[in-house]
């Protein structure tokens, strides 16, 4: 197996981490790492990865919609029909959702309070 093949089998994280520390490698290694990083930045590589992910999803029975585009390159609308999630994961998700909604609720109440103050200020004199 050549050095080029070794770097092709590495993950994206490993390749781009190696790019950040190129000085650790000899000149030939630097050329191979740069070439592999350049290959992984190309639109063709991204399309191949997307096709591979969709193929894996179809084989496992899940539907993956990552980077879905129409033939003209415009984004395509995707409808999610089902999410398979364990009970424990669902509980954790719902607790996080509730906690995240608290600041939004406080902000909403402040806005309602401010609107009520304005309305009472404008029409308060009519009540007397």
Give, for all 128 residues of the chain, the pLDDT tens digit. Answer: 788 888 888 888 888 888 888 888 898 888 888 888 888 777 777 777 766 666 665 555 555 555 555 555 566 777 777 788 889 999 999 999 999 999 999 999 999 999 999 998 888 777 66
Q: How many domains does the chain have?
A: 1
Q: Using CA atoms, how far apart are residues 125 and 127, in angstroms rounded to an integer?
A: 5
Q: Identify whether 13 is part of a domain.
A: no
Write down the pTM of the prediction: 0.39
CA distances from 72 to 24, 56, 59, 75 (A): 43, 25, 27, 9
Q: Is 73 left (phi over 0), alpha (psi -120 to 50) or beta?
A: left
Q: Identify whether 68 is part of a domain.
A: no
Q: Identify whether 111 is part of a domain.
A: yes
Q: Identify whether 22 is part of a domain.
A: no
Q: Identify whether 47 is part of a domain.
A: no
Q: Identify whether 89 is part of a domain.
A: yes
Closest CA to 34 of 7, 56, 74: 7
Instruction: Residue 120: give the domain boundaries.
Output: 85-128
């Amino acid at each position: 197996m050549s050095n080029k093949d070794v770097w092709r089998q590495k993950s994206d994280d490993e390749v781009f981490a190696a790019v950040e520390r190129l000085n650790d490698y000899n000149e030939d290694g630097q050329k191979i790492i740069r070439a592999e990083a350049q290959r992984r930045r190309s639109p063709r590589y991204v399309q191949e990865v997307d096709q591979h992910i969709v193929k894996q999803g179809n084989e496992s029975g899940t539907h993956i919609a990552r980077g879905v585009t129409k033939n003209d390159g415009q984004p395509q609308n995707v409808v999610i029909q089902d999410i398979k999630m364990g009970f424990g994961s669902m509980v954790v998700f719902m607790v996080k959702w509730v906690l995240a909604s608290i600041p939004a609720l406080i902000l909403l109440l402040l806005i309602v309070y401010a609107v009520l103050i304005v309305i009472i200020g404008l029409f308060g004199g009519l009540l007397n």
